[in-house]
Amino acid sequence: MTQPLRLGIAGLGTVGVGVVKIVRQKADLLSARVGREVQITAVSARSRDKDRGVSLSGYAWEDDAVALARRDDVDVFVELMGGSEGAAREATEAALAAGKHVVTANKALLAHHGQSLAVLAEDNKAQLRFEAAVAGGIPVIKALTEGLAGNEIKQIVGVMNGTCNYILTRMENAGLTYDEAFAEADGLGYLEADPELDVGGIDAGHKLSILAAIAFGTQVNFDAVELEGIGCVAIEDIRHAADMGYKIKLLGVSRMTGRGLEQRMAPCLVPASSPLGQLEGGTNMVVIDGDQVGQIVLRGAGAGEGPTASAVMGDILDIARGIDLPVFGQPANELKQANGTQGATPAPYYLRMRLLDKPGALAKIATALGEAGISIHRMRQYDHDGETAPVLIVTHKCTRSDLKTALGAMEETGVMVGDPVALRIEEV
């Protein structure tokens, strides 16, 4: 094809500006790699007058993203507005219904509406690409849909939110409390406008649900993701984990079990010597286990102008080359509705609790665990703190449901003060 590929970009924030820069500054390189010119014809954003540090001269302006998506001189609608509803969804649906290709970095949109958008795209012979929606500059979507297409995926494990990894890393390296590390991340501009999207695991859960759909041939089902944020992690937990040779990470895990598809995003202990344990700061990492390739590790920048714009451009150039793939790696009408399951795979757990300092308190906790079928691997009681005593327990492997039963029984003993902390230990 010799005709230019014409882009309409909706959303001129950090990533949108990054895409504009690449198209303007690397025009000859892009053309050489795909055999045709890539050009921007029109853009849209909330404010026309904002200084974005890059010239938008020569581009048509649309106040309405839906109007941009329907323009005759736009071949690829690049959606970088964000959000699962409103303008982002309406404009994306309008573009696909018109048979236009869509490239997006919008993980929330795909996590909540991925199946319907995939059907709409494939019915209208349009491409829907979203490499930038998961793990920033790491090409994990391409790895799953193309490079590992000959594998049955056994498991996906990853650190997919750089802000959480930054907070946990700072707690460990600088001895900060959670609140102190949170405030530092906020001051650096790392947190979303709604911080719960980051620290509550929601942002990373969106990404996990997308990867699980591709890996296991299922429809995206974010509602089935078990979510737990990092707010429960205290500096004591960081130190106890280090004493045992572990690091604490907000870890996404997805695997197909005999009971259904397990999708979990929660703080976990991982071996300090593992690639995940050595991951510092805002970096992301995804570990994929395939039946043929074994384990591969993908590591890189999970956010930022350059890395995310790089992922957007990768999708745009695939479209320019004429590469045509189903949205989630296989036709949307063949994707299964997977039965969701929580905590189906047994694992050891780290438990931290505060007990009343009186005879028999610890015995009652041990009894509650034993009656739930959970044995204790190691236990440590720390120096008494007034009328209470901190206690640390590491269990042998158990299911999440058995642990919940035990925790419920512990509450009824009347010897616990406050809520216990329970973190899964993943040997990855």
Helices 400-413/361-371 angle, 10° precision: 150
Q: How far is CA 30 from the centre of its chain?
A: 29
Helices 107-123/202-216 angle, 10° precision: 30
Active site residue 247: no
Bridge partners, 379 (sequence order): 393
* SS3 annotation, 229-297: CCCCCCHHHHHHHHHCCEEEEEEEEEEEECCEEEEEEEEEEEECCCCCCCCCCCEEEEEEEECCCEEEE
Question: How many CA atoms does the CB half-sphere of 356 hold within 13 Å?
Answer: 11
Report the C-alpha gap between 68 and 62 in whole angstroms: 6
Q: φ, ψ for residue 408 (rounded to 5)? A: -65, -40
Q: Are 287 and 146 in contact (CB under 8 A)?
A: no
Residue at 3: amino acid letter: Q
The CA-atom distances, in angstroms, between 150 and each of 145, 146, 187, 274, 331 are 9, 8, 45, 26, 16
Q: Could you tell me the two tokens for 404? A: 């919940």
Q: Give which of 138, 184, 143, 128 is closest to 161, Cα–Cα.
A: 138
Query: CA-based angle 229:235:236, to the nearest 5?
Result: 110
Q: Which of 26, 50, 125, 207 is catalytic?
A: 207
Longest Cα separation, the chain? 83
Question: How many CA atoms does the CB half-sphere of 338 hold within 13 Å?
Answer: 30
Report the C-alpha gap between 184 and 189 in whole angstroms: 9
Per-residue DSSP letter, 39: E
Q: Give which of 53, 48, 55, 59 is closest to 9, Cα–Cα.
A: 59
Q: Rg (Cα) of the chain, in Å, rounded?
A: 24
Q: Could you tell me the two tokens for 407? A: 């925790």
For tokens 């642990």, the residue is 403
For tokens 């498991």, the residue is 155
Counting Cβ atoms within 10 Å, is residue 45 exposed (0-12), middle (13-18) or buried (19+)? Answer: buried
The residues annotated as belonging to the active site are 207
